[in-house]
Every structure is written in structure tokens, then in C-alpha cells.
């Protein structure tokens, strides 16, 4: 019986390692359906990010997005709560640290009780967006270099109305983060 459980454990471990390798392979693939009809130099992408302080990786995620390499003109709309002093301070520091980045900090009052705070922020952010393309990005998400170039051409296909990426967690700083990262990364594909 012990051998059975050892073999079962090895099989499970092999399956997880296989998924991990497939995820890494997938994210390193260039897009096979890039079209020349989307001209990145002529389009602006508005990236709406509802922000709530508290995540220890928040400031690193936001700064890495500001450092992202892309051919598209981008504007970041950081949507924060009026009463989130930590978010106000942290966002202002990042805006000062990246003066060439096009970031607008939009502070919002609390929504009505029956409205989701995240949905409320996105609706208000959409009203302020200037981009030809709207992207919604969680505050704990990092866009890879060239990620917009890989994703957005799919929007040119007539049957496509939305494009999205698969989550891939990078935080292995402690046991809990490692467990969450393994679950998310192992189930992305």
C-alpha cells in the first residue's frame, strides 16, 4: 500500500511539473496570428487598474508595469479609494519615480452598498479613459514585455470581442504565497 501511495505521489508531482513546464513554454511563444492591420503606433491603450493597498507586492507590480516595453502608447488610470491613504502615498511616489509614464491617479468615493467597489471603479475609470483600446488589469498583475503586442491583434478577428491573458503567479516569498502560486500556475492551462 505504501508503494501505491508513493507512486501516486510521484504521478501527481509529475503532472504538476508537466503543467508548470507547459505554462512556461506557452508564455514564451510568440503570437502566431499577429496581423499588420493593428498599428500600435497609431493606437492608445488605456489600462484601468483598480488599486487597493495591502498587498506586499503591490508597488513592485505597479512599477514593473510602468517599465513594460510596448509599441503601443499607454495611459494608466489608477483607480483608488478616497480613504486609502496608503494607496494615495504609494501611487504618488511611483508617479514621481516614473515621470515619463502616463499615469492618472483617480481617487473615488465609496460606491453605493449594492455596487461592487471594483465594478464602480472600472465604470468611473472608463469615463476618464482616452484610449482606443481599454485594458483592465488587476493591481497584482504584471504585463510582460510585448504582452500587448501578443494579445491585442486577436481583437482584429471578427468573432473576437475580448482578449485576456492567463494568470501566472511569481510570488514564492513565503509558504502561503508559494502554495497559492503553485495552485494558480498549475491550473492555468
pLDDT digits (tens, 9 = 90+) for 38-81: 677 788 999 999 999 998 889 999 999 999 999 999 999 999 99
Cβ(49)–Cβ(138) below 8 Å: yes
Can you give the pLDDT at residue 40?
Answer: 77
CB-based contact 74:45 (threshold 8 Å): yes
Q: What is the mean pLDDT of residues 20-26?
A: 79
What percent of the chain is modeled with pLDDT above 90? 49
What values do phi and psi take at 103, rounded to 5? -125, 130
**What confidence score (pLDDT) does residue 98 get?**
98
For 123-157, write each residue's pLDDT tens digit. 999 999 999 999 999 998 899 999 999 888 888 88
Q: What is the pLDDT of residue 34?
A: 46
Q: Which residues contact 125 (CB under 8 A, 6 or more apart)?
A: 48, 50, 77, 79, 106
Q: Is the pLDDT of residue 35 over 70?
A: no
Domain ranges of the chain: 41-186
Partners of 80 in the β-ladder: 107
Q: Which three cell numbers stand for residue 30?
A: 510568440
Q: What φ, ψ does residue 45 adopt, rounded to 5°? A: -110, 120
Please give the Cα distance from 104 to 64 (Å, whole number).
Answer: 16
Q: SS3 string of the chain?
A: CHHHHHHHHHHHHHHHHHHHHHHHHHHCCCCCCCCCCCCHHHCEEEEEEECCCCCCCHHHHHHHHHCCCCCCEEEEEEEEECCCHHHHHHHHHHHHHCCCCCEEEEEECCCCCCCCHHHHHHHHHHHHCCCCEEEECCCCCCCCCCHHHHHHHHHHCCCCCCCCCCCCCCCCCCHHHHHHHHHHHHCCC
Q: In the structure grid, which three cell numbers stand for residue 168, read together?
A: 501566472
To the nearest whole number, what is the mean pLDDT of the chain? 88
What's the CATH number for 41-186?
Answer: 3.90.550.10
Amino acid at each position: 500500500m505504501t508503494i501505491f501511495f508513493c507512486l501516486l505521489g510521484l504521478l501527481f508531482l509529475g503532472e504538476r511539473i508537466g503543467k508548470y513546464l507547459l505554462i512556461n513554454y506557452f508564455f514564451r511563444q510568440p503570437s502566431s496570428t499577429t496581423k499588420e492591420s493593428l498599428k500600435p503606433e497609431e493606437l492608445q491603450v488605456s489600462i484601468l487598474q483598480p488599486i487597493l493597498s495591502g498587498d506586499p507586492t503591490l508597488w513592485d507590480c505597479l512599477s514593473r508595469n510602468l517599465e513594460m516595453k510596448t509599441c503601443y502608447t499607454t495611459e494608466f488610470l489608477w483607480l483608488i479609494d478616497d480613504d486609502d491613504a496608503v494607496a494615495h502615498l504609494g501611487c504618488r511616489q511611483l508617479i514621481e519615480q516614473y515621470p515619463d509614464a502616463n499615469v492618472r491617479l483617480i481617487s473615488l468615493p465609496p460606491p453605493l452598498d449594492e455596487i461592487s467597489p471594483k465594478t464602480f471603479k472600472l465604470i468611473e475609470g472608463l469615463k476618464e479613459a482616452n484610449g482606443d483600446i481599454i485594458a483592465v488589469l488587476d493591481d497584482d498583475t504584471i504585463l510582460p514585455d510585448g504582452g500587448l503586442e501578443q494579445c491585442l491583434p486577436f481583437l482584429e478577428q471578427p468573432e473576437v470581442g475580448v482578449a485576456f491573458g492567463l494568470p501566472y503567479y511569481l510570488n514564492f516569498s513565503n509558504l502561503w504565497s508559494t502554495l497559492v502560486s503553485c495552485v494558480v500556475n498549475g491550473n492555468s492551462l
